[in-house]
Chains A and B, each alone.
Chain A
Amino acid sequence: MSELLGVNVGVSQNLGKVAKIGGKRYVRVDMGDADHLKFVPLGGRLMNSFGVGGKMFEGDLIEFDAEKQTLKLLKTFEVAKAVSATDTELYISQGEGADYGYRHLPEAGNILMKAPTSLTGKGTAALMGVFVPTEITEGGKKIKVWKADITADALGALAKGDVLVEAVEAGASKGMYVTNPNTFNPIECVFTNPVMQGEDPYTGAIVTFAPIAEGLYYKKRMCPLPACVSALNKSRITAYFSL
Chain B
Amino acid sequence: MILPIISIVLALAKGLIPMLTASNAPAEIIADAQSAVDLFTKVHGTIVTKAQVDSLLIDPKW
Partners in one complex: no
Query: Which B residues contact A (CB, under 8 angstroms)?
Result: none
A: which residues have CB within 8 A of B? none
